[in-house]
Structure 1
């Protein structure tokens, strides 16, 4: 299949899944590729997408086990999410399709100790952001060349429908400011291939040291 910048980061995202996580939410699941990788790790995954075609593809491809993928045709902005329910929530190239304030709803849906991982797209703000942007250009050419050669040798490309694309991206500086407000303690790092990784871990409850009299 054609080189996909999001798929390139699947192993890195899987490395952020807490060992104790049993349920996951994949927001903007697309064809369900990452949801299936989570299920292969043993998590039960709610795979949500606003595009009906993507949900049908995810349903048709099913679950690899041992975890189960449940595809849902939902707008995450309007969806009612169970509080403290998910050990891991992922958003792959989907957060810029909705208001950034949606992360507040995702934070509430995380179980204590759970992780929100956002692989997103944004425009650079700082010299360091621009440096990563420039390095991405030759890396992208090499990667696409390698994958194109593989397609030619294997006789075809991915026949599945592609997810909708939104080319309006926020700036990294704005993302960092909003994340500090809505996801205190989160980190944002610029990545090659025009991506950033936002990571947030929901704090565990503080132990109650009070004693009865």
Structure 2
């Protein structure tokens, strides 16, 4: 599918990124598109993903595109430095790990830092299904528009993708757990089966 739901929300995520530089961590970076956007904002970027294939591609695609440092790593199995990052972003990857992992991400934020999670959730309620129904025609139109653009860009390199896991945690449970682990966070439902969680460190 040429239309990428995660890329669609890059601009929304960047609105929450503080100006003036700093240090960022992009978790589940894939081929590095959002990491490059963070670097373009003047941030020093660490980017991690569990897939060696996509990390290798991210490095190749990012040559001369800012300063992302890509590493093949499982964020649940490494010790993150406490209080280091001004921005931590997680795009469509939190459902690959225990949600409690956000506590380690929270502790890695510098005072005043922001944690941005673009998450996925399954349909489990009537409200979920209503939002899904609303997304279908918009999704179809976006796919068609992007396909037309891609038709004019034949020969462009295809990019690899990290392994995909279907989300299993309902949005209402995510909200409950987030309230405990990330007090004061905001969780907003989005189209395309996504939610946005924003947490700012109060330090």
Q: Shared topology, TM-score over 0.5? A: yes
CA separation of 1:200 and 1:99: change in aligned 2, threshold 3 A:
same
Q: How far off is 1:155 after superposition?
A: 2.2
Contact conserved, 1:94 with 1:120, CA < 8 A, in 2?
Answer: yes
Give the whole-Å Cα distance in 1 for the aligned partners of 2:62 and 2:143.
29
Structure 1 unaligned spans of 5+: 205-213
Q: 2:87 maps to what in 1?
A: 88
Matched residue of 1:119: which SS? strand
Q: Quick check: which has more Rg, 1 or 2? A: 1
TM-score normalised to structure 1 length: 0.89
Q: Deviations over 1:145-175 (max 9, x none)?
A: 1111122232256512122111133100110
User: By how many angstroms is 1:123 displaced?
Assistant: 2.1
1:203 maps to 202
* Residue 131 of structure 1, CA deviation: 3.0
CA deviation string 1:54-111 (max 9, x = no partner):
111111123555x510001111001111111000000000000010000000000001
Q: TM-score, normalised by structure 2?
A: 0.94
Partner of 1:182: 181
Q: Which moved more, 1:36-45 or 1:124-133?
A: 124-133
Are 1:194 and 2:168 an aligned pair?
Answer: no
RMSD: 1.7
Matches within 5 A, 1:149-188: 149-156=148-155, 158-188=157-187
Q: Residue in 2 aligned with 1:107?
A: 106
The farther-off stretch of 104-113 and 11-20 is: 11-20
Tell me the distance in 1 between the aligned counterparts of 2:167 and 2:104. 22
SS in 2 for 1:113: strand
- Quote the residue 1:208 is aligned against: none
SS class of match (2:111): strand
**Which residue pairs with 1:8 in the alignment?**
8
CA contact (8 A) 1:20 1:87 kept: no
**What does the per-residue CA deviation read over 1:5-56, in whole Å, with 9 as the maximum and x for residues that have no partner?**
0000001111111224510000000000100000011101000011111111
CA distance in 2, matches of 1:14, 1:143: 21
For residue 45 of structure 1, give the secondary structure of its aligned residue in structure 2: strand
CA–CA distance in 2 between the matches of 1:39 and 1:135? 34
Matches of 1:153 and 1:73, distance apart in 2: 33
Residues 1:137 and 2:136 are matched in the alignment: yes
Number of corresponding residues: 203
